[in-house]
Chains A and B, each alone.
Chain A
Amino acid sequence: MTVSLVPALTAHGVVSRQDLPIPLVYLLVGSVAALLVSFLALVVLWREPRLDWMHAGRPLPPRVQRVLDSPALRAGLRALGLLVTAYIAVAALFGPDDDSNPTPGVVYVLFWVGVPLLSMLLGPVWRLLNPIRTIDTAVTRATGTDAEAAAWPLPHRVGHWPAALMLLAFAWMELAAPDNTSQLVLCLFFGTYLAVNLLAALAFGSRWFSRGDGFEVYSTLLGHLSCLGRRGDGQLVLRNPLAGVAGTPAVPGLSGVVCVLLGSTAYDSLGGSTWWVNVVQSGPLPATLTRTLGLVTMVALVGLLFLNACLLAGWRADLPSARLVEEFAHTLIPIVAGYVVAHYWSLLVLNGQKTISQLSDPFATGANLLGTAHLVVNPTLADPNVVSVLQVTAIVVGHVVAVVLAHDRALRLLPRRQAMAGQIPLLVLMVAFTVGGLTLLFAA
């Protein structure tokens, strides 16, 4: 389904079940056992809610904090984001529309996979680089208005829903649209994306970006997994990533964002299977429509399973169901992160290097603008054995962390006598996602 993506390799990369160190069934049994044992250990050892982002963490030395928060560094990052975007835009608009153009690799590999991975390590990096934010600042400054000021208030209930829609639109372009690597499609998508977000930011103020800008929301959510974070009192701290994720604001639509991310990755796995390829190629419907239905079905399936688990978890608690869903939505963030690593690692390593080398010669003229043109792809980090161990670890750790987060939130949210029983539907969900995810990754 990667179509003629740069991806030389199908999206799930170089690893297949033959590279697994153990038969898939053993792996599934082991992973499920890991979840169950973790749950039992939590029930026995973790009896009070403990995750508290407000107070968690050890502050960085004041000098380091001053440097990280310095206006010069922030301005430098903004300039960098704008510069790189402009460079890519020129390549996209004026470069040749063929395999030599770096744009698809930049979009689908360095940006779509690289930025989330970087966010997991360093925090919400896209917030600092986001070129649309910078343009918004420039426009409001030029017109003498305040970037923060809003012509209209952004209703709270809108929340992250626009971000979920934008991410779904991107996933659709990547996984279902015809010609997903053509410059026309990419320019149309990002042109529209820029226009929508800029207008929304001018209308609702710059807080729009942290609510509605899909890519920024994605980066910020995965950024909560970083050890580097900001505490309630504003200090930059090194902290337990669990506390960081537990501090994710339960905004309406958070569930939508995580379900779009999970469902689309699951669809990408499915799309690599020859079974699905044949359904698309010989089914009665046009290929694009079949793929669209597949993508939407996967996202809906993930969403319904999650909704169901949350409603069961809190069915005797006196909480509105919409609130319940958003309160538990952050537990899926480590699972999303696990799948990003598991699913796209080899793509990032192999095609990332290829893209970096292509970036030096955006017009296919033999130029070496960045000095990377002669970079030869080094496959060491994508060795099949390394990758399969990394994949299994990422998925299992992601789900175990999710169980821990669900446990802590249940203790905080549900009446004490329901807190344990209430987690069982969520535990069943995590088990189902683990089994489904590993099976799709290694058997599809």
Chain B
Amino acid sequence: MTTASRPVAGPLPPVLLSPGARSSGWDAPRTARAAVGALALALGLVLGLAACGGTGSTGTAASPGSPAPTGSSMTAGSGGASGAPPSTGQPPATATFTGVGVAVQVAGGKVVPPTHRVDVPIGQRVRLQVVSDVADEVHVHGYDLKQDVAPGAPATVEFVADQPGLFEVELEAAKLQLVQLEVH
């Protein structure tokens, strides 16, 4: 609505198409050929580049915004690197757990660590631990998992990430997005 902010000075004539213009339907081979040619050329270029680049390692481009899950994502193998321990009541990551652990704390309407994206290899177990200062419900969208959380007591949601995609984990009543799980 903000385009053409200049007022229209008066009634605009409907688009005038010069009557002499040649027909351009499927029955106008030149047009069709030129259009199809341009499209084919365009697509060929992109797909050609795709083929050349296909062997390159993915994910090297566009690294800004890539997860770098500081302190919130851990595998048991790496030794439970949960940066800021949310609370004393939090059970430590047990040695038997293999998978992706995510710990989030919510206090005063703020999410710590700030909402970020965590990479989850498909088929891995995910263990989400959420501590909140108010009673609420943790909701893993897409997997449609829900878990009540009481004030101060950590709530744990554990599941196998068997569907690919980008999934939001939300604190339902507070409408706070806690983390995004990128399963692939």
Contacts and interface: CB of A to CB of B under 8 A. Distances in A.
A24 B59 CA distance: 8
A56 B35 CA distance: 14
Contacts of A325: 3-4
B65 A444 contact: yes
B139 to A, nearest CB: 7
B182 A23 contact: no
Interface in A85-138: 99
Interface string A10-24: 101111111111111
B164 interface: yes
A25 B62 contact: yes
A429 interface: no
A141 interface: no
Contacts of A282: 110-111, 114
Contacts of A49: 18, 21
Most buried by B among A30, A300, A320: A30
A161 interface: yes
Given A16-B184, A50-B28, A242-B35, A156 B12 contact: yes
A51 B22 CA distance: 8
Contact of A50 (B31, B110, B115, B172): B31
A3 B173 CA distance: 11
A251 B24 contact: no
A19 B62 CA distance: 13
B94 interface: no
A234 to B, nearest CB: 15
B58 A23 contact: yes
Interface residues on A, range: 35 or more
Interface stretch (A60-68, A267-275, A414-422): A267-275
B134 to A, nearest CB: 15
B125 interface: no
Contacts of B175: 3-4, 178, 287
A26 B61 contact: yes
Contacts of A243: 24-25
Nearest to B21: A52
Q: Is the interface of B mostly helix, strand, loop or mixed?
A: loop
Nearest to A229: B25
B12 A322 contact: yes
A27 B165 contact: no
A303 B2 contact: yes
Interface of B: 1-15, 17-19, 21-28, 30-32, 34-35, 37-39, 41-43, 45-46, 48-50, 52-54, 56-62, 64-65, 109-111, 114-117, 119, 139, 141-144, 163-168, 170, 172, 175-177, 180, 182, 184
13 contacts: A8-B144, A17-B61, A18-B182, A30-B50, A45-B38, A52-B23, A58-B26, A238-B25, A239-B25, A240-B28, A250-B15, A256-B4, A412-B21
Interface of A: 2-4, 7-10, 12-27, 29-31, 33-35, 37-38, 41-42, 45-46, 48-58, 99, 155-157, 159, 161, 164-165, 168, 178, 237-240, 242-243, 247-253, 255-256, 259-260, 272-275, 277-278, 281-282, 287, 296, 299-300, 302-304, 306-307, 320-323, 325-327, 329, 346, 379, 384, 392-393, 396-397, 400-401, 404, 412, 439, 442-444
Given A10-B168, A34-B43, A302-B3, 7 more contacts: A3-B170, A4-B139, A38-B42, A50-B30, A51-B31, A238-B25, A412-B17
